[in-house]
A and B are shown apart, each in its own frame.
Chain A
Amino acid sequence: MRASPLAEHFADLRTQRHALQFGMWLFLVTEVLMFGALFVLWATYYQNHAVDFRAAAQHNSLWRGSLNTYILVTSSFTAGIAVWAVQHDRSKLAMKLLGATFALGVIFLVIKATEYAGHFEHGIFPGRHYRFEELMTQGAVLFFSIYFVLTGLHVVHLLIGLGVLLWMMRNLRRRRFTAEYHAGLELGTMYWSLVDIIWLVIWPLLYLVR
């Protein structure tokens, strides 16, 4: 008989699940605030360099950014349906969906890598290493500094998210998630959704402002 997932300090599974979800929501709030500080940074510099920002954004690949948006939103969808699948005892489907989510995340990274490569080719580097002859305004330099910090940090979170997805797939294979109780799965997919939501703010700030 499998041991109960109930930890000894919780009164019952319902309380445990509620506490875990609440804890994850609080953690997501802290992540939003952290990225929020960067969004404030963007907004402040945009105020003073609107024209330069728009000009600089032209040199971001709109189709790559938009494709990445589509990819992440789809991956959030597949992650969410995976939870539904486990709730309905369809673990095989859930595994496929989590795998798809993981694959989409990897594709995002590949596209991002090609973007970075393109930028480096043109001499677009963060801050003082910037040497893109065609656009040498202060605003452009600032824009790309923010671009690299924002997308770089987002990539770090996405990599963590990939790790979380692997952990969930492993637990799913070991039948740790049941229809009655799958809090770990819910928490992990919440985190993945955050990665998606942060990108949904990054995309307009860095790609659509042109």
Chain B
Amino acid sequence: MNHDETAERMAPDELDYLRVERGLWSWLTTTDHKRVGILFLISTTIALFLGGMYAMLLRAELVQPARDLFDAAQYNRIFTLHGVIMVFLFMIPAIPSGFGNFLLPIMIGAKDVAFPRLNLASWYIYLFGAVWIFVSLFGGGIDTGWTFYTPYSTTSPSAVLPATIGVFIVGFASITTGLNLIVTVHTMRTKGMRWHDMPLFVWSIYATSVIQILATPVLAMAILLVAVDKALTIGIFDPAVGGDPVLFQHLFWFYSHPAVYIMILPAMAVISEIVCTFSRKNPASYRAIAYSSIGIAFTGFLAWGHHMFVAGIATIDAAIFGVLSMFVALFSAIKVFTWVATLYRGSIRFDTPLFYFFGFLFLFVFGGMTGVAVATQSLDVHWHDTYFVVAHFHFIMVGGTISAFLGALHYWLPKMFGRMYNEKAGFFGATAVFIGFFLTFFPQFLLGNAGMPRRYYSYPEQYQPLNMLSTGGAWLLGIAILFSVVNLLVALKWGRKASANPWNSRGYEWTTRSPPPKHNFVGTPVFNRGCYEYALNEDEADARVTTR
């Protein structure tokens, strides 16, 4: 294979981005998008484990029906912190600010993002927001649920003020990443690269970025009002002074529904790349996947009222929101069918990233279909605030996004660090994650349908067997994720050195060295072939990638 030669041609004679400067200070002051991406990956993975720890605590409480470890007040704080840390410190930033930052410029043949210093700033903004959330944590935490519903959030004695300030600040990290990546895609594509030449990963990250800049400011305002109200007791959502607490819900969910698409679109970005590489095929329909990303972003803004079916909104409004919510499923389904069609008659390579895709496929479809189910107002009246909804969104967020996140870590580890992980351990981890996940969350569909409410620390006796199963599954899931991440960390130090393109992918990021040099390529790369063009033979495919 000529891949290493191609990589040398595209980026000769330079130290890679990891070795060109060394020491902590060079990392803390970096403007290299690759290093910023890695900084985000480290921070968000730490957040994943912290949020996961809270999950293990609450699952431990739920093994037995009665109160054993925590009382109601403590339990409320545990699930709230689980939600806040997971949503704002992991799910939103992990793939866009981690992998998006690292890969997007390379995939479009650029030297960096449009605003490298702003990129570094976005990491510090994230950290600053995280600090405020920790201040809240050490101040006793919050018990409002991650949704901060008023009037409880503005009157709760818990540490709401630092938590809301933290969420407000972290939102700006999200906005700046989105802004940076949008401008990068518009202005820094390499010579000859039109929109329809871009890798599908870029389309999905672009759609994510659009949601980030349009939706997050509304959350900023909603959460700022809660913070101001808590600090100055203004009462803007307080019924006693004429305020409307449901108005908070509208403002909150106007962001938080599109937010879930910020969480899934980057996962879909990863999946598109993995599917094509591991079936050695171009996508069954490039436009279907590209445009459906935009479709998801657009329709995602129309659906927020489905979180408020029982909040007192008019039945007709609820029905409209329900129907609009289902449109998103159309676009998600288009992607799922296109990915599967891509696999068909492909030359399948069974490695860990593909196993994460298989897990994703099954779990995301399950989660998505139950999403259509809860979008049906008449059914949601029964399921709202039960474990059915909890299972639905965890199927998507964990079964979907976290599977893709782990798959991405395995897929791009060789590119990022020039090392290959142990494949057997990777396979074992992927399987354990899937089994652990299913055992944790499938019982929750049954529990919710049987009527078990969410956010309760105790429950009637008859729910115990399924709860025990769920907690057992959670232990397996936690250990499996830890195991997989440790496998990757081991590879960083002791893994086999990876070649430029160990997966034999036609993706553009694989045409440069592993790890890439500081400016990704030398000069301006010119890609005279598509990034999924497997019909060409190896030599021809390599020859068509040049630099000037």
Contacts and interface: CB of A to CB of B under 8 A. Distances in A.
Contacts of B112: 9
Contacts of A35: 221
Majority-rule SS of A interface residues: helix
A29 B214 contact: yes
A23 interface: yes
B243 interface: yes
B232 A127 contact: yes
Given A29-B214, A40-B251, A141 B241 contact: yes
A30 B221 CA distance: 11
B183 A30 contact: no
Contacts of B187: 15, 18-19, 22
Contact of A23 (B115, B216, B222, B234): B115
B429 interface: no
B175 interface: yes
Interface residues of B, number: 41
B208 to A, nearest CB: 14
Contacts, number: 111
B242 interface: yes
B424 to A, nearest CB: 40
Contact of B225 (A11, A23, A29, A149): A149
Given A26-B182, A145-B234, A139 B242 contact: yes
A49 interface: yes
A26 B183 contact: yes
Interface in A129-159: 129, 138-139, 141-142, 145-146, 148-149
Nearest to B232: A126
Contact of B236 (A8, A23, A30, A41): A41
Q: How large is the interface on A (under 10, 10 to 19, 20 to 34, 35 or more residues)?
A: 35 or more
A115 interface: no
A3 interface: no
A22 B186 contact: yes
Interface string B212-241: 011011101110010011001111101001
A1 interface: no
B5 to A, nearest CB: 27
A146 B217 contact: no
Nearest to A137: B242
A126 B235 CA distance: 9
B114 A26 contact: no
Contacts of B186: 19, 22
A128 B251 contact: no
B490 interface: no
Nearest to B239: A138
Nearest to A144: B234
A124 B268 CA distance: 52
B242 A45 contact: yes
Contact of B218 (A36, A44, A127): A36
B234 A38 contact: no
Contacts of B229: 127
B234 A149 contact: yes
B217 A22 contact: no
Nearest to B110: A9
A24 B363 CA distance: 40
Interface in A47-71: 48-49
Contact of A26 (B179, B234, B241): B179
Of A31, A34, A148, most B-chain CB atoms within 10 Å: A34
A151 B226 CA distance: 17
Given A23-B179, A127-B235, A9 B111 contact: yes
B188 interface: yes
A18 B188 CA distance: 11
Contact of B233 (A11, A48, A129): A129
A47 to B, nearest CB: 10
B242 A138 contact: yes
Given A44-B247, A141-B241, A149-B236, A19 B217 contact: no
Contacts of B116: 7, 9
Interface of B: 110-116, 175, 179-180, 182-183, 186-188, 213-214, 216-218, 220-222, 225, 228-229, 232-236, 238, 241-244, 247, 251, 254, 519, 524
22 contacts: A9-B110, A9-B111, A9-B112, A9-B116, A9-B519, A19-B187, A22-B183, A22-B186, A23-B115, A26-B213, A27-B179, A29-B214, A30-B216, A33-B217, A36-B218, A37-B218, A41-B236, A41-B247, A45-B243, A48-B244, A142-B243, A145-B234
Interface of A: 7-11, 15, 18-19, 22-23, 26-27, 29-31, 33-38, 40-41, 44-45, 48-49, 126-129, 138-139, 141-142, 145-146, 148-149
Given A10-B188, A23-B179, 20 more contacts: A8-B111, A19-B115, A19-B183, A22-B183, A26-B182, A26-B213, A27-B179, A30-B175, A30-B179, A34-B221, A37-B218, A41-B236, A45-B244, A48-B242, A127-B234, A128-B241, A142-B236, A142-B241, A145-B241, A146-B236
Q: Which 3 A-B pairs have the closest CB atoms?
A: A138-B242, A127-B234, A37-B221
